[in-house]
Amino acid sequence: MQTTEGRVTRRSFLQIAGLAGASTLLAACVAPTAPASAGESAGTSAEKSPLVFWDCPNSAADLPRLEARDAMFEERYPEVDLQVDYFLGGSTDDFKQKAVTQMASGLFPDVIYFQNSQDWIYKGIIASLDDYIDSDPEVDWDDVLEVAQIVATWQGKRYQLPTGVNAWSLYYNKEYLQENGLKMPEEYLAEDRWRWNDGFLELTQGATKGEGMDKFYGIHMNTSGYWGHDELAEVIMSNGGAIFRTDPWRAALDEPEAIESLQFVLDLTKKYGVNAELGAELPQGLELTYSAFMLTGIWMLSSGAFRESFEQFGYEKMGHIRFPYGFNTDYSRNEGGAGGGMATPLEAENPDNAWKWHKWAFNEYCKVSYTNFHSQAPARKSLAADPDYLASFASFESVDEWNYALETTVSLPVPNNGSEAINLMMAEWERVMLGEITVEEMVATVVPQMNELIKDTPPA
């Protein structure tokens, strides 16, 4: 380096600064690669063929479990260099946004977490797995639960090998019901009284106590915000209604079954006072929740972020029952992410390795634990029918109820512009809860708008 009396000259400084700047720019322009998975050395990865996987854990607390999963895969397929990129710190929606942005820039994984992402199929991003499924004798497609088959299939082609079902249903505080001399919901079920306006209402009204900030609610159903549509869907579907119909695509909130359901949810808060007001963010753990019943999905019970609080509460104190029957049905439906799992983009560079992952997850890993990929229940009939396996589901006694939940889970159809349509619906629903409009007025306003938004969805 040129120096003047031991000092760096301006020229040499500029040369070094320019070189450093150019290097930094070049480094920044190189396409980022997914980080190598745990336990992998750079020396061996060069000899292996890569498998890039974009995953979306429920929370950072799930990472150790998922990293153990990755290690199991690497052990099973030592020739594959598994590179997992975990998207942390956001919801599945945030993950979708990040994934789409990266794919738009030409960066594609071989396997991608796939939940409520059917619009990617419409847009031609996801590859059909038909050839692999048909030609691989180790995969038994008929063992997939029917609800998961429906979600994984689009226009006759299969885009997923489903690994799980996020079944929603009701969880309740057995101890609280006993202490307050209330009957268990199973008794109402046995008496054929497990219906909205009968046993369910009687029980939740009996469980509701106190006033103001000390109020203990009969049930916790948070129907505010975008995700509040999950709760609404559960109720609507349990009355034989739907948010969207697919034959042809249309918003179905104006059907009498849906209107009745929305009115019932409104009444739970405004008329009967058994559910909290809009936006009352009751803590999720039953031990903290000021409610006897909680409507949620299996993912929450076993996901790292909430698992601890449920364990603390004690799974043995927790009961589980199907959502009560609506006015118009003799069944209850569970809104859930049926068929949740993984998919492979058309542009994937290593589709054969991707298939190894799909098959391993479907045949082997899902047997390891109920907290398999994303804390979902198994999507396979053989596992769903296995009492021993189901018994591992957080010590729930009622295997029958679990089977019922799995078999009756329905995934909400995802049309084009589905998120926008749901946001419109939820904003109008919030106006209903604020007392600005009636359910009928909401439906009259929002259904035409939703139909306009989803009109370009290709036929299923």
Partner 1 sequence: MTTDSMPVPRTTNVARRWKKSGLLRQEMIEGWLFASPFIIGFILWTAYPMILSAWMSFQEWDILTPPKSNGFNNYAKLILEDKLFWQSLGNTAFLTFLGVPIGMVAALATALSLNVKTPLTTLYRTLFFLPSQIPGAANAVLWALIFNAQFGILNQLLGYVGIEPVNWLFDKYTVKPALIFMGLWGVGGSMMIYLAGLQGIPQELYEAAEIDGANLWRRMWHITLPLLTPVIFFSLIMGIIGSFQGGFTSVYIMTEGGPANYSLVTMLYIYRQAFNYMHMGYASAFAWILFFIIMAFTAIQFKLANRWVFYETNK
Residues forming the site for partner 1 (CB under 8 A): 10, 14, 17-18, 21, 25, 93, 97, 100-101, 103-104, 120, 123-125, 212-213, 215, 224-226, 276-282, 290, 417, 419-420, 423, 426-428, 430-431, 433-434, 436
Task: Please count the residues of the chain.
Answer: 460
Q: Cβ of residue 428: shortest distance to partner 1, in angstroms?
A: 7
Of 105 and 155, nearer to partner 1 (C-beta) is 105
The rounded distance, in Å, linking the Cα atoms of 132 and 349 is 16
- Residue 340's contacts (CB-CB under 8 Å, 6 or more residues apart) are 114, 115, 162, 163, 164, 165, 166, 373, 374, 376, 379
Of 236 and 276, nearer to partner 1 (C-beta) is 276
Of 1 and 29, nearer to partner 1 (C-beta) is 29
Of 15 and 392, nearer to partner 1 (C-beta) is 15
Q: Cβ of residue 393: shortest distance to partner 1, in angstroms?
A: 30
Q: Cβ of residue 219: shortest distance to partner 1, in angstroms?
A: 15
Of 291 and 332, nearer to partner 1 (C-beta) is 291
Q: Cβ of residue 279: shortest distance to partner 1, in angstroms?
A: 3
DSSP line for 321-362 = EPPPB-SS-SS--EE-EEEEEEE-BTT-S-HHHHHHHHHHHH
Of 223 and 375, nearer to partner 1 (C-beta) is 223
The rounded distance, in Å, linking the Cα atoms of 217 and 212 is 11
Structure tokens at 149: 């088959």
- Residue 288's contacts (CB-CB under 8 Å, 6 or more residues apart) are 282, 309
Q: Cβ of residue 134: shortest distance to partner 1, in angstroms?
A: 28
Sign, CA torsion 70/74/77/83:
positive
Q: Cβ of residue 440: shortest distance to partner 1, in angstroms?
A: 17
Preceding peptide of 283 cis, ω within 30°: no
Of 43 and 212, nearer to partner 1 (C-beta) is 212
Q: Cβ of residue 94: shortest distance to partner 1, in angstroms?
A: 9
Of 20 and 68, nearer to partner 1 (C-beta) is 20
- Cα 408 to chain center, whole Å? 16
The rounded distance, in Å, linking the Cα atoms of 403 and 410 is 14
Q: Cβ of residue 85: shortest distance to partner 1, in angstroms?
A: 19
The rounded distance, in Å, linking the Cα atoms of 259 and 238 is 13
What counts of helices (H) and strands (E) characterise the chain? 20, 18
Of 12 and 329, nearer to partner 1 (C-beta) is 12
Of 202 and 430, nearer to partner 1 (C-beta) is 430
The rounded distance, in Å, linking the Cα atoms of 439 and 258 is 10
Q: Are 295 and 234 spatial neighbours (Cβ–Cβ below 8 Å)?
A: yes
The rounded distance, in Å, linking the Cα atoms of 126 and 96 is 13
Q: Cβ of residue 430: shortest distance to partner 1, in angstroms?
A: 4
Give, in degrees to the nearest 5, the angle at Cα 109 between 106 and 114. 115
Specify the amino acid at residue 118: Q
User: What is the helix (H) or strand (E) element at residue 164, kind and residue range?
Assistant: strand 164-166
The closest alpha carbon to 450, from 253, 214, 174, belongs to 253
Q: Cβ of residue 98: shortest distance to partner 1, in angstroms?
A: 9
